[in-house]
Amino acid sequence: MKKRLTKIYTRSGDQGETGLGDGSRTPKNSPRIEAIGEVDELNCLIGLLASQPLSQPLQDSLNTIQHDLFDLGSDLSLPGRGRFSSRYTEWLEQQLDQLNAELPPLTEFILPAGPPAAAHCHHARAVCRRAERRMVTLLPLEETVAPLMQYLNRLSDLLFVMARTIARAEGEERLWRPGSRGKRI
């Protein structure tokens, strides 16, 4: 493997710009960099989630997702690249179908809570949705963003189902009870 970074600081971003994979420069607050930043934050949260005691199948899925998110970020950093394909999203759908088949149907909204791993899933899900919203601004400019958005949309669904799976395994899935505050006051 060739060296990618020989020096961590370059000072090239000190004026508010950063480099893309194609060598071009763009403002650090451009929609593309905002989207890349959201995907990076999501990947960090997936790593935090993976640090929890989880079943091996969930750990394996999270490992794959982290690699997928690097592939996704790679496409974002090279405008027009479009290497990210629908097979990534199809894999997520298979994971979703497997996990969801073992859960009872939803009858109420789920509170974003539960044991730590479930709560981390909910947090990652919310950041995933934010990353998807950031990419919406790129969609009119670049058709190669559509598969990235689809992946994030499905990933947020998978994180929700993972949160339910983890919470139910530990007996702590918490349901929203509309108007319950009024009954306590």
Give alpha helix (H) positions in the chain. 31-50, 56-77, 86-100, 116-136, 146-169, 180-184
pLDDT tens digit sequence for 34-66 = 999 999 999 999 999 999 999 999 999 999 999
Amino acid at 56: Q
CA distance 28 to 13: 8
DSSP 15: T
Give the contacts of 30 (CB within 8 A, at least 6 positions apart). Answer: none
Query: Could you tell me the pLDDT band of residue 73, with boundaries at 50, 70 and 90?
Result: very high
Residue found by looking up tokens 């730590």 in the block: 116
| Tens-place pLDDT, residues 80-120 | 777 888 999 999 999 999 999 999 998 889 999 989 999 99
Q: Cα(93)–Cα(90) distance, rounded to whole angstroms?
A: 5
- What are the CA-CA distances from residue 93 to residues 52, 86, 101, 120, 152 (Å)? 23, 11, 12, 21, 12
pLDDT in tens, 152-184: 999 999 999 999 999 999 887 888 888 877 554
Task: Kindly list the structural domains of the chain, giving each domain's residue range(s) and its CATH number in brackets, ordered by start.
Answer: 28-97+110-173 (1.20.1200.10)
Nearest in space to 96 (alpha carbons), one of 142, 47, 151:
151
Q: Which has more confidence, 109 or 7?
A: 109
pTM: 0.88
